[in-house]
Structures are given as structure tokens and as C-alpha cells.
Structure 1
Amino acid sequence: MFDRERFVEECQAAVAADPTHKAAREVMLRAMADPAQVLRGLGAPTRAMVDVLYRSPELTILNLVWGAKMTIQPHNHRMWAVIGIYSGREDNIFWRRVEGSDGRMLEAAGAEALSTGDVAPLGRDVIHSVTNPIPRFTGALHVYGGDFFAPGRSQWDPGRLTEEPYDSVALKQAFEDANAALVRA
């Protein structure tokens, strides 16, 4: 069975041995070889949430549960990331910086749909938005090569596509809004 403490220890050892995403990706691939075990080990999602499994200046590990049809606006991490889906689906739109005459600062540059068992690395300069396109929870482990909650990141207004400082309070509110929508449904 998947053990969250063991997963954290393996990620810590991986990043200590290789501070790039490569060793952490190998740990994630092993975990996602049996996503049903990860689901059993973490428990079936019952609410949208950001569950911090580990946080340090060198490494952050999150268990993210996306609410049904939930979307997070374009943002960057300014560090590498490795995503593993243990339940559901996560659609990513990748963005690139532009200087549009209309003031927008981003344009879509690609997309990737991740399903249960998939693992994907993201480079330190990636800008992406995330959507759970299905009408149920999606569970994902996210491993970051740094402190995910440290200042210095950006987000982009989803309508105007203009850059602004990252707002972690708004992120938490988005998860609470997804939970409130579940209650109303």
C-alpha cells in the first residue's frame, strides 16, 4: 500500500541526490504504477483541498484534490514540478508570454490531458492553467523543487491575461468555492 511518509522520504532522498526533476519523477513513476494503491493510501477524496505533505525551501509535496469542473487561472511556479494523477483527470493549458497590442501578456501554446496513472514534469519557467474537466474529484500528487508557497510567483488574470502577483488566499478560496458548489449541487 502507498505510504505518504515513505513517499515524502523517497522524494527528499531523490532531491538530495539530484536537485533536478529527474529523480523526483522516478519516485512519482513508481508511485503511479499503481494509482489505486495511492488512492487507498491517501483516502478517497471527499472535498477539494490543498493538503501539504511536506514543505521546505528545497521541496514541497502536495496532495491536490481538484473539485468537479474546477479551474485554476494561469500561473507559474518558478521551480520544476512533477505531477502524478492517482484519480480522475487534470487538463493543463500551457501559455507563453507575449506583448499583445490589447494589453494581454499571454497566449496559449499547447495543452496536455493527464489521466489516472499519468506522470508529467513541468519545467521551472512553465506557465499553465489547470482544469478538472470531469464531474467528480481528481486527486493528484504534485512535487515541487522548492517552496511552493514562497513569494515571487505570478498569476494571470483569466479574462485580460495580464500578469499580477500570485495570490495564495485566492487559491485557497478557489478550493473552498469548489466545495461550496458541491454542497449546492
Structure 2
Amino acid sequence: MSFDLEALVSACKVALGEEKPQEHISKIVDKLLSDPDSLSQALGHQTIAGIEKLYVSDELTIINVVWAPKMTLNAHNHNVWAVIGVYAGREDNIFWRRVKNDPNGKIEAAGAISIAAGESASLGKNLIHSVTNPTDTFTRAIHIYGGNFFEIDRSEWEPMSLEEAPYSVEKTLAVFQSENAIMDALKVTGGNA
């Protein structure tokens, strides 16, 4: 089986018309993950952290996310459901919940999940999570969202205060760029930045 982006988009669009689209898309992702090597071959063996847009509409976003070694993304929400399928490496997710009656929108840890190559996770619309690649290699994953990932109003949380702030796509992309700068510095210094 080889990865076919057009077929994936088409299958996801059909799933959106189902009563429980997220469940159907989870099955689609699990089928993709049954051949992670095909995904790697089709999407590349990137050594640059980033978010690659594969498909974006108001109802559906499919992205290829590449996490640098040891990279962490602060707690954030999506305000839409998401299905994440890791095809290389591992993602560690910490789940957070809002502290009741906190005027600053503070959060507290509420659980965690580790998603290894060949595994997927289905995240609810109201879920808050932070993501870390705990490995020394790049982690690669397909992320599918039930809306336009790049246009949704949502929140992120400051890592020290755990207080809520407006989410910024630009800030998130800057984190990926910063990780790439660190990787470049490590190459120049032979791993001793």
C-alpha cells in the first residue's frame, strides 16, 4: 500500500458527512499507520522541524508535523477535534484541565499519553495538551483537525505561570524555526552547542 494524499483527503471528506466523523477519521489514520514506511517514503525523512500543510479548508486540515529532538510545544487547545497518527518517533502529550474559578484561566495537569510510531490518538474538541518529542531523533506525525487549524480562535498557556493567552500561529511557527536554529548550531559545533 502506498500513501495517496488525494485518497486520504477524499476519505476524510466522506467521513465528515458521517454521524461521528472523528471516529471514522481515526480508523482512516489507523489504516495509514499500518504501513508507516509508506508514509515516511511519501512524506520524506525530514531533518527540519516544521508544519507542512497537506490540505486546508474550513472543515478539515491535514498537516504533516515534524518535531525536532527533545522539542516541546507549550500547552494549547484546538477548539476542534483532532486525530494524531505518529509514523516515526514518539510524541508525549500532557493533558491539562482548567482550574475551576481561576480568573486567569490557569490550568493543571490532568493526565498523559505517549504515542509511538504506528499509534494514534483521538483528541476531543475541548482538550488542552502540550507536546514533547522525548527522543534524540525527529518525530513525524499526520495531524487531522475538524476545522481550519490555522484560522481557529484558541488559546495557549504560558509555561511558567500556566495562565491563558491568545494562541498565535506565528509564535508556534517561530518555535519550530528556533528548534531548527538549535539543530543547525549543533551541526556546526559537532553536537556541543
Quickly name the TM-score band, shorter chain normalised. Answer: over 0.9
Question: More deviation in 145-154 or 162-171?
Answer: 145-154
Count of matched residue positions in the alignment of Structure 1 and Structure 2: 185
Query: 3-state SS of the aligned residue for 1:44?
Result: coil
CA 1:59–1:103: 2 relative to 1, 3 Å: closer
Identify unmatched segments of 5+ residues in structure 1: none
Corresponding letter in the other structure for 1:150 = E
2 CA distance for matches of 1:146 and 1:104? 24
Q: 1:107 to 1:8 in 2, by over 3 A?
A: same
Divergent runs of 4+, >2 A: 16-20, 99-104
- AA of the residue aligned to 2:176: F
Q: Counterpart of 1:125?
A: 126
Structure 2: which 5+ runs fail to align?
Answer: 187-193
Partner of 2:38: 37
Partner letter of residue 49 of structure 2? Answer: A
In the other structure, the counterpart of 1:4 is: 5
Give the SS at the match of 1:160.
coil
Report what 2:190 is aligned to.
none
Residue 53 in 1 paired to residue 54 in 2? yes
- Determine what percentage of the aligned residue pairs are the same residue: 44
Query: TM-score when scaled to structure 2?
Result: 0.91
Larger Rg: 2
Distance 2:153 2:104 in 1: 22
RMSD over aligned Cα atoms: 1.7
SS in 1 for 2:17: helix
User: Post-superposition shift, 1:69?
Assistant: 0.7
Aligned mates of 1:180, 1:30 — CA distance in 2? 35
TM-score (norm 1): 0.95
Q: Which moved more, 1:45-54 or 1:15-24?
A: 15-24
Aligned partners of 2:104 and 2:164 also within 8 Å = no
| SS at structure 2 position matched to 1:140 | strand
Worse-matched range after superposition: 78-87 or 20-29: 20-29
